[in-house]
Chains A and B, each alone.
Chain A
Amino acid sequence: MAGKPKLHYFKVRGRMESIRWMLAAAGIEFEEQYIDSKEDLQKLKNDGCLLFQQVPMVEIDGMKLVQTRAILNYIAGKYNLYGKDLKERALIDMYCEGTVDLNEGIMMLYFKPADTKEKELQSILEKASTRYFPVYEKVLKDHGQDFLVGKQLSRADVQLLESILMVEELKADILSTFPLLKAFKGRISNIPTIKKFLQPGSARKPAMDEKTAAEVIKKFH
């Protein structure tokens, strides 16, 4: 029975959050089956549900898709969030890979040893403000359009908004020197599907904290 996509992951952001964002932006309702214990994960493996023994895994259209990018590519393609042609796709891919690189650092932050955490945090904030955000600010400045690529919402906008909000959780005024990103953030956040996702009670997961990170490590390592 063709139904809602079903997401298999821990009840945290991790590598699944970008997928939640994408589905939400596309207005697609989905279900989540949380992995709460080592046994849950083992069962998925034993049942042959995980191609490389890893999550995220998303059941969609008769497939058990794994690998974050494969899942994001599929959803973006299916729901028209991947630009109108090959060249737009190339730009979207470049911009998205930048946000994914930035997200990766943020995601791993709480799993770093305590003595390196502060240094890692500073490194993330430095990369955000000197390598990544200036690029997106310039893209918006150079073309003066509402969306990063082309004339409609794409995954690049969604993924950039996600990254901006996550960096702001680490440093609230990170956008103070990026006026166009500020306006971009306001604009994209107001898109109805995204606005809904940003409200309490949505599928959006809260930021990782020390306690949750410790639990994840205990359960799965």
Chain B
Amino acid sequence: MAGKPKLHYFNGRGRMETIRWLLAAAGVEFDEQYIESKEDLKKLKSDGWLLFQQVPMVEIDGMKLVQVRAILNYFATKYNLYGKDVKERALIDMYCEGTMDLNETIMVLPFKPADVKEKELAEILEKASTRYFPAYEKVLKEHGQDFLVGKQLSRADVQLLETILMVEELNAGILSTFPLLKTFKARISNIPTIKKFLQPGSPRKPPLDAKEAAEVIKIFH
């Protein structure tokens, strides 16, 4: 029976959050089955549901999709968030890969040993403010359009907003030198599907704290 996508992951952001964002932006409702114990994960594996024994996994259209980018690519295309042609797709891919590189470092931060955490945090903020945000500020400045690529919302806008908000959780003033990203943030946040996702009670997950990180390690290691 064709139904809602079903997400398999633990009850946290991790590598699934970008997928939640994309589905929400597309206005697609989804179910989530949380992995809460080692046994839950083992069952998924022994049932042969995880191609490479890993999550995220999303059940959609008769498939059990794994690998974050495979999942994102599928949904972005299906829900028309991947640009109008191969050149727009190339730009979208570049911009998205940048946000994903930055997200990766943020995602692993709670799992770093206490003695390196401060240094890692400083590096994240430095990369955000000297490598990534200037690139997106410049893109917006040069074309003066509302969206990063083309004339409509794409996954690049959604993924950039996600990243901006996560960096702001680490340093609230990070956009102070990026006026166009500030207005971008407000503009994209106001899109009805996204606005809804940003409200309490949505599937959006909170950031992980040290205690939760320790619990995740127990499940997966």
Bits for A60-91, please: 1 = Cβ < 8 Å to B, else 0: 01010111111001100110000000110110
Residue B73, interface by CB 8 Å:
yes
Stretch at the interface among A92-100, A194-202, A210-218: A92-100
Residues of chain B in range 37-72 having any CB-CB distance to chain A below 8 Å? 51-53, 61, 63, 65-70
Task: Give Cα A131 to B53, complex, Å.
Answer: 7
Partner of B70, one of A65, A70, A94: A94
Partner of A90, one of B52, B63, B93, B101: B63
> Which residues of the partner chain B approach A131 to less than 8 Å between Cβ atoms?
52-53
Residue B211, interface by CB 8 Å:
no
Number of interface residues of A (CB under 8 A): 27
The smallest C-beta distance from A73 to any residue of chain B, in angstroms, reads 5
Partner of B132, one of A52, A61, A66: A52
Residue A207, interface by CB 8 Å:
no
Q: A78-B86, A93-B67, A135-B52 are in contact. Are A67 and B94 (CB under 8 A)?
A: yes
Q: A63-B87, A70-B97 are in contact. Are A87 and B135 (CB under 8 A)?
A: no
**Chain A residue with the shortest CB-CB distance to B130:** A53
A135 with B86: CB separation less than 8 A = no
A74 with B74: CB separation less than 8 A = no
Residue B151, interface by CB 8 Å:
no
Bits for B66-107, please: 1 = Cβ < 8 Å to A, else 0: 111110011001100000001101100110111001000000
A66 with B74: CB separation less than 8 A = no
Residue B117, interface by CB 8 Å:
no
Residue A132, interface by CB 8 Å:
yes
Task: Give Cα A87 to B70, complex, Å.
Answer: 10
> Which residues of the partner chain A approach B51 to less than 8 Å between Cβ atoms?
94, 98, 135
Residue A172, interface by CB 8 Å:
no
Task: Give Cα A156 to B65, complex, Å.
Answer: 16
Residue A51, interface by CB 8 Å:
yes
Residues of chain A in range 75-133 having any CB-CB distance to chain B below 8 Å? 77-78, 86-87, 89-90, 93-94, 97-98, 101, 131-132
Task: Give Cα A30 to B32, complex, Å.
Answer: 46
Residue B131, interface by CB 8 Å:
yes
Task: Give Cα A52 to B128, complex, Å.
Answer: 11
The smallest C-beta distance from A188 to any residue of chain B, in angstroms, reads 21
B94 with A66: CB separation less than 8 A = yes
The smallest C-beta distance from A88 to any residue of chain B, in angstroms, reads 11
Q: A61-B87, A67-B93 are in contact. Are A97 and B78 (CB under 8 A)?
A: no
**Chain B residue with the shortest CB-CB distance to A62:** B87
Q: A93-B67, A94-B67, A135-B52 are in contact. Are A53 and B93 (CB under 8 A)?
A: no
Task: Give Cα A98 to B73, complex, Å.
Answer: 15
Task: Give Cα A65 to B98, complex, Å.
Answer: 12
A97 with B86: CB separation less than 8 A = no
Partner of B97, one of A67, A78, A93, A101: A67
The smallest C-beta distance from A82 to any residue of chain B, in angstroms, reads 10
Q: List 23 A-B contacts (CB under 8 A).
A: A51-B98, A52-B135, A53-B131, A61-B87, A63-B87, A66-B94, A69-B93, A70-B93, A70-B97, A74-B90, A86-B77, A87-B63, A89-B77, A93-B67, A93-B73, A94-B65, A94-B67, A97-B67, A97-B68, A97-B69, A131-B53, A132-B52, A135-B51
